[in-house]
Amino acid sequence: MAAKSEINVKLIIKFTGILVMMLSGFMLLSLPWSVYYGETHTISSVLISAGITLVSGLAGVLATRRHDHRNIGKKEGYLIVTVAYLSISFFGALPFFISGAIPVFSDAFFEATSGIATTGATILIEIEALSKGLLFWRSMTHWLGGMGIIVLTLAILPILGVGGMQLFVAEVPGTTPSRLHPRITQTAKRLWGIYVGLTLVQTALLMLGGMDFFHSLNHAFSTVATGGFSTQNDSIAGYSSYIQYVIVLFMILGATSFSLHYYVLKGQFGKILHNEEFGFFLKLMGIFTLLFFLALLLSQQAGVESTFRKSLFQVVSIVTTTGFVTTDYMEWSGYLWFFLFLLMFTGGCIGSTAGGLKMIRILVLVKNSRLEFRRLLHPMAVIPVRVNKKTIPPDIIHNFLAFFLAYMLLFMAGSAVMTMFGLDFASAIGATAATLGNVGPAIAHVGPVDSYAGIPHGAKWVLSVFMILGRLEIFTVLLLLSPSFYRK
Amino acid sequence: MHQHRHIQWRLIGKLLGMLFMMLAGVSFTMHYFLIKRQFKQLLGNEELKFYFLIILTCTLILTISILTLDHYGLEQAFRESMFQVVAITTTTGFVTTNYLQWPGQSWFLLFILMFTGGCIGSTGGGIKMIRIWVLIKNTRLEIQRLVHPMAVIPLKLDGKVIPQNVTTNFLAFVFLYVLLVFTGAAVMMGYGLDFASAAGASIATIGNIGPAIGSVGPVENYAHIPTGGKWFLSFFMLLGRLELFTVLLLLSPSFWKR
């Protein structure tokens, strides 16, 4: 009998094995497309990839089959999630690599990580050259990463019992699972139910706008997951204004806390109106859209509606950390794209599919800064921060601030590493901010109309890690680097 | 001969300059302990150790990164690195070489150092060593709190427990500092500066350093910035010198409420 606090490696192998087997199943879903479009080469490479993935997962599960998986501790929870995301990125890269569509493995890994972390940064220059089956797999990685493949596993495999809670907390930070239902499996089902619902509705709305089923489904996957992979080289720029507005709407919905969607289904509209985070989220996007709209209207000779649409689309796309593009914003005046760069840090609401710092943290920290002045004047007074009329405990504020600091430290360290790989100042800073925030397109040489193809391979691996850091909200991953984690 | 002696003096001048910058970046309380011969206080001071650790580590990294430049020998590379690291970390801003001609990663390190500043209670600006050190320690604890959410893990500095409201205040300071740097950079871009210059000007003025990067680099000056931008940067220098809260307090409505 092992000591209680010792890390249970077998448990981690077992659960990662289950997830990898799930992944191989999803890989097969791109086969019908390849069959329909007659892509024999893709069919064989997807089959080989799915085979390797299935066998690897099965080996992990069989090797640890006698192990009881019901008592996942906190440490195991965090380890499983990080190991799982790394493994999924690895196996997810296989279809790209084996088919030869992305001949270099570090590129394929970057693309798969960018998918699963819902970043949307691509190393592809000719996206339309990819076969339909591979394009579908590329969008599918987004969709699995968005609400979380682990949460999905919790929803459809009821084998996990109590331990599931630890995994849930590690994969979807910020959602208190008990908010939707006291039982973890039920919560996971509800979240994925809403997620699937949103995806289907968006697909239908896109098809109404004249997009075919394949492209509608792909874009719906990318939008609801706030990912940003498109099936087109010029992202969303070539589509009609109706389609652009539909995508704007669903980017916002994807970046909205999923508990709010649940309240809508329950008819509890009051909770939405009084949700300060959601209000702050809408206000922020509204203010910046207006600013961009006015600035562009004065500086460019374009129609009022198209200028408004461009401003709205770009602001929403960056704030929700989706990263779709309808215009090359690097051609705007410097301060305008600098604002977009700043917005790469904000992120959507907590408990959504968006990345970044998240609205609630920024809201609480701005409020706290204001109160810090009052504390300066009245050192002995206890002045609480209130959100939604509830007092935020000092521990939470402290944690949010520490998160902000860790985010900034990582951002600086990442930028420094990027300059070591020879990137220029703006590209280094942009690439780090856009991958850590799971946005995708950044500024300068990794701007909206460029790709990450020209970056050195070493840098691609670092950025892949940054995407996973961003997706799992930093502390989850950093925890594994701290020596105290492995002490008994 | 005369030329040779001249160079020698310049060298001594640089070394002396470096020494006094380094001393000025140390908390003046430490100087007092030194005069009082309370050496134990000096050796046990974590901020002081961290300060020298940062200077040494960054000097070494920088030395290695500029060693490959053909006109630098080992000694000169070390001297130039150390001078520049000390000048930036202590927020003095003296320059002995155009560091922007160094490789990108070398001056990016100096750019990051513009945030740090010297020890608290010194003449340096910036975020200050003690805040950074406490916050690094706090980040480690915050990560441990993930696994042990109920445990009360105190943060200790120099053997004393730092209360949570102090770390919260430090964190709020850094949050505000970063927010202001971003705002300053946005304003400078509005005045037409390019990305690197705008970020540099903002950070070098709020950190009370002086020379930055881009068009406000070590061999440039701030003359070309529009007048409005100069007023703004002057305000930023005051903000940094008075450690943000003091100045911003005057702008907060609650200060004027009776």
Q: Would you kindly state where each structural domain of chain B is located, as residue ranges?
A: 2-113
Range ranked top by mean pLDDT from A194-198, B125-129, B165-169: A194-198
Interface check for B108 against chain A (CB to CB < 8 A): the answer is: yes
Pick the residue from chain A with its C-alpha nearest to B192. Answer: A334
Å between A369 CA and nearest CA of chain B: 6
Average pLDDT of chain A to the nearest whole number: 89
Interface check for B255 against chain A (CB to CB < 8 A): the answer is: yes
Contact A89, A472 (CB under 8 A): no
pLDDT > 70: what percent of chain A?
95
Contact A332, A443 (CB under 8 A): no
pLDDT tens digits, residue range A408-435? 999 999 999 999 999 999 999 999 999 9
Taking an 8 Å cut-off on Cβ atoms, the answer to whether A425 and B196 are in contact is yes
Of residues B143, B189, B214, nearest to A475 (C-beta): B143
pLDDT of residue A488: 61
Q: Rounded CA gap, A356 and A349, in Å?
A: 9
pLDDT of residue B2: 44
Taking an 8 Å cut-off on Cβ atoms, the answer to whether A75 and B147 are in contact is yes
Query: Looking at beta carbons, which residues of chain B come within 8 Å of A339?
Result: 186
pLDDT tens digits, residue range A371-412? 887 777 787 777 888 888 888 888 888 888 999 999 999 999
What SS3 class is residue A390?
A: strand
Q: Rounded CA gap, A448 and A441, in Å?
A: 5
| Residue A389 or A250, more confident | A250
Interface check for B227 against chain A (CB to CB < 8 A): the answer is: no
| Sequence letter at residue B186 | A
Taking an 8 Å cut-off on Cβ atoms, the answer to whether B178 and A398 are in contact is no
What is the pairing mode between strands B155-157 and B160-162? antiparallel
Å between B2 CA and nearest CA of chain A: 42
Of A55-59, A476-480, B35-39, the least confident = B35-39
Pick the residue from chain A with its C-alpha nearest to B251. Answer: A373
Pick the residue from chain A with its C-alpha nearest to B189. Answer: A335
Interface test with A, best of B147, B148, B153 (most A CBs within 10 A): B147
Pick the residue from chain A with its C-alpha nearest to B213. Answer: A425
Of residues B168, B176, B194, nearest to A334 (C-beta): B194
What SS3 class is residue B91?
A: coil
DSSP per residue, A108-132: HHHHHHHHHTT------S-GGGS-H
Closest CA to A347 of A323, A366, A331: A323
Pick the residue from chain A with its C-alpha nearest to B139. Answer: A402
Taking an 8 Å cut-off on Cβ atoms, the answer to whether A338 and B189 are in contact is yes
Closest CA to A334 of A455, A453, A436, A447: A447
pLDDT of residue A162: 56
Taking an 8 Å cut-off on Cβ atoms, the answer to whether A405 and B174 are in contact is yes
Q: Rounded CA gap, A57 and A51, in Å?
A: 10
Tell me the pLDDT band of B159, cut-offs 50, 70 and 90. Answer: confident
Residue range B45-53: average pLDDT? 91
pLDDT over threshold 80, residue A336: yes
The residues, any chain, with a CB within 8 Å of residue B168's CB and separated by 6 or more, are A368, A394, A397, A398, A401
Pick the residue from chain B with its C-alpha nearest to A404. Answer: B175
Of residues B138, B189, B252, nearest to A370 (C-beta): B252
pLDDT tens digits, residue range B61-115? 999 988 888 778 888 899 889 999 999 998 888 888 889 989 989 999 999 999 9
Pick the residue from chain B with its C-alpha nearest to A417. Answer: B105
Query: Looking at beta carbons, which residues of chain B come within 8 Å of A444?
Result: 195
Q: Rounded CA gap, B50 and A176, in Å?
A: 39
DSSP assigned state of A393: P
Interface check for B238 against chain A (CB to CB < 8 A): the answer is: no
Taking an 8 Å cut-off on Cβ atoms, the answer to whether B147 and A419 are in contact is no
Q: Rounded CA gap, B54 and B15, in Å?
A: 19
Contact B101, B70 (CB under 8 A): no
Predicted structure pTM score:
0.93
Interface test with B, best of A72, A401, A412 (most B CBs within 10 A): A401
Query: Looking at beta carbons, which residues of chain B come within 8 Å of A424?
Result: 104
Pick the residue from chain B with its C-alpha nearest to A419. Answer: B105
pLDDT tens digits, residue range A438-478? 999 999 889 888 899 999 999 999 999 999 999 998 888 88
Backbone φ and ψ of A75, nearest 5°:
-60, -45
Interface check for B239 against chain A (CB to CB < 8 A): the answer is: no
Residue range A148-158: average pLDDT? 80
Query: Looking at beta carbons, which residues of chain A come within 8 Å of B182?
Result: 342
Contact A316, A285 (CB under 8 A): yes
Contact A196, A176 (CB under 8 A): no
The helix or strand, by DSSP H or E, that contains position A386, with its residue range, turns out to be strand A385-387
Return the structure tokens found at A59: 């080996």
| Residue B3 or B228, more confident | B228
Of residues B138, B144, B249, nearest to A373 (C-beta): B249
pLDDT of residue A403: 92
pLDDT over threshold 80, residue A157: no
Of residues B178, B213, B254, nearest to A373 (C-beta): B254
Query: Looking at beta carbons, which residues of chain B come within 8 Å of A335?
Result: 186, 189-190
Q: Is the dihedral of CA B104, B105, B106, B109 positive or negative?
A: positive
Taking an 8 Å cut-off on Cβ atoms, the answer to whether A373 and B171 are in contact is no
Interface check for B57 against chain A (CB to CB < 8 A): the answer is: no
Q: Rounded CA gap, A469 and A356, in Å?
A: 11
Taking an 8 Å cut-off on Cβ atoms, the answer to whether A416 and B178 are in contact is no
pLDDT tens digits, residue range A86-130? 999 999 999 999 999 999 999 999 999 999 999 999 999 999 999
Interface check for B228 against chain A (CB to CB < 8 A): the answer is: no
Å between B12 CA and nearest CA of chain A: 33
C-alpha dihedral (A98, A103, A105, A110), degrees to nearest 10: -110
Interface test with A, best of B106, B173, B195, B247 (most A CBs within 10 A): B195
Å between B163 CA and nearest CA of chain A: 12
Selected residues 119-158 of chain B with any CB under 8 Å from a CB in chain A? 135, 138-140, 142-147
pLDDT of residue A346: 92
Of A14-23, A66-75, A329-338, the least confident = A66-75
The residues, any chain, with a CB within 8 Å of residue B56's CB and separated by 6 or more, are none
pLDDT over threshold 80, residue A16: yes
Q: Rounded CA gap, B236 and B186, in Å?
A: 13
Pick the residue from chain A with its C-alpha nearest to B147. Answer: A74
Q: Rounded CA gap, A453 and A103, in Å?
A: 12
Residue range A284-305: average pLDDT? 92
pLDDT over threshold 80, residue A275: yes
pLDDT of residue A108: 96
Contact A467, A438 (CB under 8 A): yes
Taking an 8 Å cut-off on Cβ atoms, the answer to whether A369 and B175 are in contact is yes
Helices A241-254 + A304-319 axis angle, to 10: 30
